[in-house]
Structure 1
Amino acid sequence: MAKDIDLTSSEWCDLVFEGKNKAYGAYDMRQNSPKRHNRAMIVVVLVVIFAFSLPYIISSIVPEKEEEIEMNVVTELSKLDAEVKKNEELKPIVETPPPPPLKSSIKFTPPVIKKDDEVREEDEIKSQDELIATKVNISIADVKGNDEIHGQDIADFKEIVAPKKEVEEKPYEAVEQMPTFPGGEAELMKFMSENLKYPVIAQENGIQGRVILRFVVSKTGAIENIQVVRSVDPTCDKEAIRMVKSMPRWIPGKQNGNNVPVYFTLPVLFKLL
């Protein structure tokens, strides 16, 4: 009879637990063990199949990406080449302006004292009558003219020199000699106490604090580019900026003995007494 029973069947489980307590859990685990074994076997087989096929999957994916990238690059380059040729065809032809009307002139050469036998006939100084007869001007260079009646002498043309653009020097954060207020720090404190006016609105609202300003002391000592680093109130900020703008020129900062623009940070205190 035992030979006819399948070990994975529920009959075999009932035979093993015949006359025993089936309520404490071992019976249920034994009954469900075939299902667990089958599921575990399927998972193991799938993992093994995936592990063996992973290299083939990777090798099949990578070439496709490279080909796609290469095709995109070729397409973009072909479009670029077409656009460049199109732009070249549409480029307008710039005509060269004609030369200005000029009179013929002979370059003036300072006379040199030589012996008579060393002077060639063509180098001899011409007389005033001969110069008038030739109707050729004496100028700064030898020029073959193209309009003897209405043309101008080459000496009348002045060289046009484009004005040089001054390169704006970037302000320094710190230098060998920092900029100072005329008379030093004591005079600066005195100027601030005498010229700073507490805004009425800020007083009525009990607003007080320290406004921190940052500005540039230029190479000439002028105050430029005032910025509020820390604000207390718009009215206080505005008053602090007004007071700084009313300051006289500072003594500019120096680097390597030269005046340079320098950033300067100044706290302005608003305090109710």
Structure 2
Amino acid sequence: MDINKILKADFLDILFEGRNKDYGAYLLRKTYSSRMRNAFLAVLAGTALAFGAAKLQDSMKSNEPEKIEVEDVVLEDVDTKKKDEPPPPPPPPPPPQKQVAEPPKLEIAKFTTPKVVKDNEVKEDEKPPTIDKIEESKIGFVNQEGMKNVDVVAPPVEKGTGSVVAPVAVEEDYDKVFTKVEIKAEFPGGAAAWKRYLERNLNYPDEAQEAGISAVVRVQFIVDKQGKISEVVALDKPGHGLEEEAVRIIKKGPDWKPAEQNGRKVIYKHIQSITFRMQ
């Protein structure tokens, strides 16, 4: 192609120079822009037409008067007269009461306060009962005839020796294992020292950390009179190595302050709680 024609020619003319332009590829590329423009305009026109039709339909519906359906309501006659209700049934008769046998009367002898008077001034009903009468009857404020009190047995009279015997003191066994004492065994230095000891020496098991386990393990052990620790046992079993670590921390620790009972150091069974908590 001549150089002057190249400057004025289209890119497609240069690309298809010397080729068969009637094959179709040249024509498709040549009319690509016009075809895309026509398709866009057709879609735009279709969209506008559909939108306009919808608007027109809505406006036509809004202009139509609304139809209101009215139905006749028929009211039924309600009988306002109160119907005679049958009387309630009579209550059931009370159960027959059992006849309670009256307890037998006991013979009572009237007791009067002794007074020093003349014999002719003593009234018959104010005379004190005899010893036989007292043994066979009860003492009261009136005289009453009835059954003789044959079941009453006078307590035997024991002759005293005249000497007072002091109670025998029970000797306390201070070599046994106490579970209740006046002063409990404790970690040397008290609660604050126990907390510092746990913070520095307690290892949180990796298995429990990975599982996110937090628990309280109670450990039971014996503190002897010198404060030595023995028989360490975990009472709680949360698993994941927590009870083993709780037992280890008790065994590793120093000697405890022994318990005291009546001012003496004694062997004491102690239970200590150890808390494992995820931060």
TM-score where L is the length of structure 2:
0.37
Task: Give the structure with the higher percent helix.
Answer: 1
Larger Rg: 2
Normalised TM-score (structure 1): 0.37
